Amino acid sequence: MKKKPDLINAWFMKADHDLKAAESLLKAEEQANEEQLNDVISFHCQQAIEKYLKGYMIYLDLKFIKTHEIGDLITVIEEKDPEIAYLKERADTLTDYAVEVRYPEEFITPSYEEINEALKIARQIKVYVKNKIKINKNTE
């Protein structure tokens, strides 16, 4: 079983990969002057936020909950870090990107503006959480 710092770093590594995937896909779209992958970009932004928050929950010794609901994760985190509340409303707007963008039955396609906002929020959550933890330089 992984030690707590290793587990947190593993969650952050996976979150970093999601964020980098979203950024790379957006850059490719901008270069091609297309908006064909906005659903995938938004999904990776949501996943990055979810993973940063779950890693932070482990750091805070909070019970790990399995959900894609970003607002619910932040609500649990608020028990030990009330400062995070200011991010809840904006971050929770990405919750729909966990499922609705992946399946054709309820398919939504975020706009260019929406995916840029999703990236901003994901980066903001990353900075917030990593500044709170500062486990080691490998989390950057």
Residue-wise DSSP of the chain: ---HHHHHHHHHHHHHHHHHHHHHHHHHHHHHT--S-HHHHHHHHHHHHHHHHHHHHHHTTPPP---S-HHHHHHHHTTT-GGGHHHHHHHHTTGGGGTTTTSGGG-----HHHHHHHHHHHHHHHHHHHHHH---GGG-
Are 25 and 43 spatial neighbours (Cβ–Cβ below 8 Å)? Answer: no
pLDDT higher than threshold 70 for residue 138: no
Q: What is the mean pLDDT of the chain?
A: 89
How far is residue 77's CA from residue 128's CA, in Å, rounded to a whole number?
13
pLDDT digits (tens, 9 = 90+) for 67-94: 889 999 999 999 999 999 999 999 999 8
Sequence spans of domains, the chain: 4-134
How far is residue 70's CA from residue 78's CA, in Å, rounded to a whole number?
12
Residue recorded with tokens 């991010």:
87
Q: What is the pLDDT of residue 98?
A: 80
Q: What is the pLDDT of residue 139?
A: 42
Q: What is the pLDDT of residue 136?
A: 41
Q: Which two tokens stand for residue 15?
A: 């979150």
pLDDT digits (tens, 9 = 90+) for 18-64: 999 999 999 998 888 777 889 899 999 999 999 999 999 999 999 87
The CATH T-level fold of domain 4-134 is Four Helix Bundle (Hemerythrin (Met), subunit A) (1.20.120)
Q: What is the pLDDT of residue 8?
A: 95
How far is residue 93's CA from residue 33's CA, in Å, rounded to a whole number?
26
